[in-house]
Structure formats: C-alpha cells, structure tokens
Structure 1
Amino acid sequence: MFIIVKHVDILYKPVGNGITSPLYGSIDNEMYIIKTINGPEGNIVLVNEFVCYHIAKLLNLPIPDIELALIDETTNINAEVWDTEDFSEKCFGLAFCSKYVKNASPLEISLFSITEDLRILISNLVLFDHFICNKDRNKGNLLTTNKSICVIDHSHAFDIGSLWNSVELRRRMTEENCFSSDIMDKNFYYYEDFKDLGLLDMIYLNQAKDNLKEKITEKNLREIIDKIPKEWESDIEKLNSLFDYLKFRLENIDAFVSVILSHLY
C-alpha cells in the first residue's frame, strides 16, 4: 500500500458540526472535508479514520475517497478558519482528507426499494460497524445522494474512539464484549429501521460474514496498521494492540452475526 501525500491548497471554513472540528478545504481543485493533526480530539481520530477507511474499501463499502495532505505556510487559510479556537499553526502537518459528497442528505432508508443489493449493502455495513466496534452510526454519517448510500466519519470507532490505548483495547478483548448488544443499542436510530424492513436476515448476514472473512485477513490488517503515518502515532506497542484487537474481533465475527440476528427493539 503506497501512500502519496498531497497538499491542501485552501482551507475555507469550519464544517460547523462534529467534535473533531472538520474544515472545508480543496486539494487539486476538488473539495474535501479535512481533519487536521493536533485537533481537539487528538491524532487518534486520524488513525481511526485511516484504518476504518481501508477496511471499508476492502469490503467494497461506499465510502468517499481520501487523501493524506499537508497543511503548511503555503496553504491559503481563510479568516473563518483562523478565527476558530481549535485551529492554529499547531495544526500544520499531515491531515486526513475525505472527498466532499455533493448534494448529500441523511439516509431515509424507507424511501429505498427493498432489493437484493440493498440487503447485501446493509448487512455488510452493520457487520462492518460491529467489526470496528462503531457505536456512532447516525444520520450525520450515513448519507444518500442520487439514490446512492455513502458511509462517512469513523473517528469514534474501536469502542471508545479517541480514548483508546493498549490497556483499554486489550481489556476489551473478551467473549463478553463480543456478545454485547451495546452496538445494536447505540445505533438504534438506523438499525431499528433496518430490522423492521427485513434488511438483516440470516442469509444476507452470513453472506456478509463470509465476505468479511475472505476480504479481511491478518496480512492486510497488518499492512494497514504499518501504513499509519508516524506523525499521527509512533508508539509501536499501541499500534500492535490495535492490530491484536482487530485480529481478535475478526476471529469472533460469528458472535457479531448472532448478536445482530437475535437483537430485538
């Protein structure tokens, strides 16, 4: 996995929502949502976004393309950005940049026709959320545009988002954690509708499980972890604990299918 670093040409203004204080910016005349280094939630959120993006791509989930790009003294930074309390020269450096999704709005799943493709997508998405322990699937990060679905914003993955460390991740590598219904409970805003519409059944969830087991391997998890920019995280023990945590969840993917199928709202 070879990473090309680009340059942020312009920072326009804050997005206006999200505790990670994302910014609108442009790279090569294309609009991006940009999360800077040394932001209010720290650099772990950039690690989370990077890892989850690459896992989502392996699973063929509809996620916007990303760039890693430098913000520096040659970036044209508007006054609206400088005026925010979360931005200063400490934010100069390598940023996580997600391509802006035009004309997007929160997903209204009831407006979609129930097709095989939709069942496959939703089953893959919900199992993905369980694999990365994402308890923050909501109307701000599941979007639709032109009848297409788009998933964004995984800064709060791995159970505790920006707060994880080696001790906390290893403490969560238990059978009890795998069979917890916490993800189903926290993500009820969409998951309840998915259940009511019959989008999460045994056939499609087992297909999603087989797809994940085929696409996600220890080898490519290690490759993703090894490509995390050192500017964001250089603690080898911490990175190894993230690999071990994901490996553990991969080994227990059957438990997540059981939880999804048995959960009642």
Structure 2
Amino acid sequence: MLRSVNGIRYVTPLREGGSLPAIVEADDGRMYVVKFRGAGQGALALVAELISGEIARLLGLRVPEIVFVQIDFALGRNEPDAEIRDLLKASVGQNIGLEYLPGATTFDPAAGDEASSSIASLCVWLDAFVLNVDRTARNANLLLSEGTLWLIDHGASLYFHHNWPTAKEKAVSRFEPIREHILLRWAGDIAAASHTAHASLTETKLNEILRLLPDEWLILESDEVTPSQRREAYRDFLLRRLEASNIFEQEMIHARSQLV
C-alpha cells in the first residue's frame, strides 16, 4: 500500500518539462515533489510514475517514497500565479508525490560522477523494459544523496499508453533510444540484471503494483475500457515485454559495445 497525505502548502514550482511538478508540504510534515493530474499529460504521467517507480523498487533500485497526495481546492485559492492556480484547480483530488531529498545533486558524469556496474545495468534494463526515453545526458533524472543514487521522474515511460493500438508492437521492440542512456557506459552486467528482473517481476508482484492505481487515473474519455480492463492491459504488456526481454537486452549490449 502507498501512503496518502494531504497537501497543505504549495512551496515552489519546478519548471521542468510539461508536467509542471512542484515541491509541496504535506500534513505529515514532509516535503514532496508532486506531479499533478491537471498538467499537460494528465493522469497518464502519474500512472507511468507509479508503475515504473514501483517496478524499480522491486528490482532493488532506490526510488524516493511514492505517496498519493490529495489536493484540495483551497490549496491554490491564494496563489498569485494564474498558471499555478489553474493547475491546482484542475488537479483537485488524488495526485502523486515523491519524497523530496534535500541537498541531493543531479548525477553528472562530466563532474566525475560514476555508477557501479550492478546499479547501472539494472537501471538501463529497467528503462528499456518500461520504454523510458528520459534518462539521458540532457535530462539524467538521477540524484545523488549521501553517496546513494536515486531514480526519479518516470512520467515519460510506458508511452504506448498514449496510443494503445501500438502496445503489442512496443512490447517486443528493441527500444533503440536506450543507446542514449546516461548509465549505459557502466552497464557491463546485463545478464545479471536480467536474472534479477526475471526473478523479481512475477505476475503476482506486477498485479500488486497495478492494484495501487486509482480507478480515476485509468478512465479515458476516448474509450469505454473499464479500470479493471485497463489494469489487465498494462499487465499483459508488462508480461509480454518481460517474455521478450532478450530482444531489448541484445540492443543494450550492442549499444554499449559502441561506447566501450
């Protein structure tokens, strides 16, 4: 189960990308980086964040705690910025937040930051598995805190759900964008990462993650699929992707051979 907290103070926006995340203080006394369902990509970015983040955790990777953040209409009532006020109004209800890591720095190889082979291999495997196009030198989405590497921001993963008819094709794709992954140069143990993933990502565990998704995030105006059917569609994609993992693993190995 994910904890649920109430947002009590909008602290500051993080104007990155189209999701307009922000640091929000919650009623548990903690700060969270919140993604809002009223932002450009809507609830689908929140779905991707939850599924991919919790899969990463299953693999043993470090992800800040993910919580549900309840946004009340009153939160944005006195916000002077009209864009933020409209965003909060459109996001009333259940949103998603990642625990804020104060003092964390962005992972930057140019500054001498490195990753272990085991962590890099698992992270690259994860991002190929969930089709995450957004962990590159341009946007690392990795933080270093007290010597530990943390994965953040998975809203761009599982992008097939913006066009469901492509799901079957994407499930068996090589995922060529993996060649731009910021950790690829250190990912020297893909076989071990694959073994860990296949041992960890059981159908039971994947179903547990999918049951966390709120029904309202799974209802799209463009179709008549029920939330239960949508969860089944995500599960079928993930299981098909796992079964076809050798396809994207070979792409990862080939791409890395071009670097080292």
Where do 5+ consecutive residues of structure 1 fail to align?
none
Q: What's the % identity of the aligned pairs?
A: 22
| Conservation of the 8 A alpha-carbon contact between 1:39 and 1:86 | no
- Cα gap change, 1:86/1:19 in structure 2, threshold over 3 Å: closer, same or farther? farther
The corresponding residue for 1:101 is 101
Aligned-residue offset at 1:15: 1.1
Measure, in 1, the Cα distance between the counterparts of 2:195 and 2:3.
Answer: 32
Alignment pair present for 1:254 and 2:254: no
Aligned-residue offset at 1:125: 0.4
CA RMSD of aligned residues (A): 2.3
Aligned-residue offset at 1:45: 0.6
Alignment pair present for 1:212 and 2:197: yes
- What's the secondary structure of 2:252's corresponding residue? helix
Higher relative contact order by CA 8 Å / sep ≥ 6: 1 or 2?
Answer: 1
Letter in 2 for 1:126: V
- What's the secondary structure of 1:84's corresponding residue? helix
Where do 5+ consecutive residues of structure 2 fail to align?
220-225
- Cα gap change, 1:153/1:86 in structure 2, threshold over 3 Å: closer, same or farther? farther
| Conservation of the 8 A alpha-carbon contact between 1:12 and 1:81 | no
- What's the secondary structure of 2:144's corresponding residue? strand
- Cα gap change, 1:159/1:69 in structure 2, threshold over 3 Å: closer, same or farther? closer
Identify which of 177, 181, 184 aligns with 1:183.
177
| Conservation of the 8 A alpha-carbon contact between 1:158 and 1:164 | no
Measure, in 2, the Cα distance between the counterparts of 1:77 and 1:16.
Answer: 20
Spell out, residue by residue over 1:47-92, the C-alpha distance to the aligned partner (whole angstroms, 9 max, x if none). 1111111101111111111110211145476525554375142211
- Cα gap change, 1:73/1:42 in structure 2, threshold over 3 Å: closer, same or farther? closer
| Conservation of the 8 A alpha-carbon contact between 2:71 and 2:88 | no
- What's the secondary structure of 2:154's corresponding residue? coil
Q: How many residues get paired? A: 246
Aligned-residue offset at 1:222: 1.5
| TM-score (ref. length: structure 1) | 0.84
Q: Which moved more, 1:131-140 or 1:232-241?
A: 232-241
| TM-score (ref. length: structure 2) | 0.85
